[in-house]
Chains A and B, each alone.
Chain A
Amino acid sequence: MDAASEVEQENGFAGKRGAAKIQERLQKRHQARTDDSDRRKETKENHSVAEEKLEYFSSTFNTERASIEQLLSSCSGAERGVVSQRLEEATAKTAQLKKFLNDSVLFLTQYELRQAQAALQKLQTSLAETREEALPKKKFAFRARSKAADKVASSASDSPDGATAAGTVKVDGAAASEQCGFSNIDSEFLTKTSEEIQNRDVLLTHLTNCKVRLFGSPSTLHLKHIDSCEILCGPVSRSVFVDHCRNSTLAFPCQQLRTHNTTDTQVYLHVTSRAIIEDCHGVSFAPFSWSYPNLEEDFNVSGLDRGRNNWSQVDDFNWLAAGTPSPNWSVITEITFCGNALKASMTI
């Protein structure tokens, strides 16, 4: 009801009944004002919760970062056994810090996120450098090595073949850097940043129970032997290829999606040409709904057309009968995904 008609009414209802009406209205207004100020208070409280979270994030992040830097700098000049122990600790702490950052993504501003990502990147670089300097031979065996192997290696620390070893490491390093992705991992939270995957071919194989977040725009994405995972990826400029995937949730924008031997899997999809399935059943589709701070930018990088999403036009290569819909795929009707997925990523 607008103000003018209210005034008219007031004039029209002079007298006792009018006075009561005015009284009532005043009462209502008072109530509304109180509600309003309550609401403002609440927003303010929410705001300060966010601020607190941010404060907590910054101080924790910085403390952890400092302690990792400390660990790294204490490596120079230390004996080999000690160094390898410290490096191991620094590696674990860096991984934790990365996870902490991922878990905090929701309440960080883009600026804070970038700062933290840059800091993390720097840490990873200096970790790699320290490792190369101190333990050239063991660069790539490092993570998988047991404590016992450590001792053997440290007692052999004065072997004179440091130079040749470093040479081999470089070759390995080049090979490793070409292959981008994750494989043979169970029950972990895995992430890649934009710098790590941009314009690359990313491969995820033999993952079970993992949550994967790929923040960026790869050129292509291959998923093979995926079980009970949740895999969310930024805009893929060309095709996504899925093979032997079960019981999982996937989300990405892409140019083409090819899905093979996949069962009981939900796909939250933005596809600019077509999605196809072959030898699949129980695959369901809904529009892509995940979001993260740099999504817009990554969409631009990918060159994908945002206004063109054929997520519900799926060709089943095993069901080319015209007229009858394929029983192997369906459309997801509820639209609860976005919130759920993000909550899940917060609580892992």
Chain B
Amino acid sequence: MGLLTILKKMKQKEREMRLLMLGLDNAGKTTILKKFNGEDVSTISPTLGFNIKTLEHKGFKLNIWDVGGQKSLRSYWRNYFESTDGLVWVVDSADRLRLEDCRKELSALLLEERLAGATLLVFANKQDLPGALSKEAIREALVLDEIKSHHWCIIGCSAVSGENLLAGVDWLLDDIAARIFTAD
């Protein structure tokens, strides 16, 4: 193998990113993933286990892991932490009754050593619902302003209309790329 090929291979590897999507059950993780990939979202079932999707975006190869959020699955989340570049935390903005649960789960994640280097994107999903809280209200409820350990951003979106999904992913990629690929 010539030097050039090896360099190319390394380069390819470098342009790969691992994204982990987590959040309470019913938040819309799988719907976001499928919508982003242009698939039908009407047949999605609650996730028993996880989905993984590999797709190309902006010249990057994204490995996106979408893990089920049911209570009984949350203890398995940690199996997916290793070498995560970006954490996507999905919130059902209309589910006011579980916002506190949502805050607790997120703050526990942010203490995880293996996620320490990851950039955090919070999707305030389901903005199409009349009862949805604004992204500012979600930001307050999840006390995001207290986060000092991670780069973070919150974006209001709707997985069913597709609104703002791209904006969110683009921000995430830019932040990760700036952190990783220009480091040297």
Contacts and interface: CB of A to CB of B under 8 A. Distances in A.
A273 B25 contact: no
Interface stretch (A61-69, A161-169, A217-225, A281-289): A217-225
A201 B54 CA distance: 33
Interface stretch (A46-54, A187-195, A314-322): A314-322
A274 B45 contact: yes
Nearest to B159: A238
Given A200-B131, A256-B45, A272-B42, A238 B71 contact: no
8 contacts: A201-B94, A201-B126, A203-B97, A219-B128, A224-B97, A238-B160, A276-B46, A276-B48
Contact of B131 (A179, A256, A272, A273): A179
Interface string B21-34: 00001100000000
A315 B42 CA distance: 18
Interface residues of A, number: 31
A255 interface: yes
B127 to A, nearest CB: 12
A315 B46 CA distance: 9
Contacts of A279: 71
B41 to A, nearest CB: 9
Contacts of B44: 255-256, 273
Contact of B97 (A199, A222, A274): A222
B129 A200 contact: yes
A180 B42 contact: no
Contact of B46 (A180, A256, A272): A256
A224 B46 CA distance: 19
Give the interface size class of chain B: 20 to 34
Interface in A300-319: 303, 305, 315, 317-318
A317 B73 contact: yes
What is the interface of chain A mostly: helix, strand, loop, or mixed? strand
Given A178-B130, A200-B130, A203-B131, A320 B26 contact: no
Interface in B73-115: 73, 94-95, 97
Nearest to A315: B48
B182 interface: no
Contacts of B25: 258
Contacts of B73: 317
A18 B132 CA distance: 83
Given A178-B130, A222-B97, A276 B26 contact: no
Interface in A171-222: 178-180, 199-201, 203, 205, 219-220, 222
Contacts of B43: 272-273
Contacts of A272: 42-43
A132 interface: no
A239 B71 CA distance: 17
B72 A258 contact: no
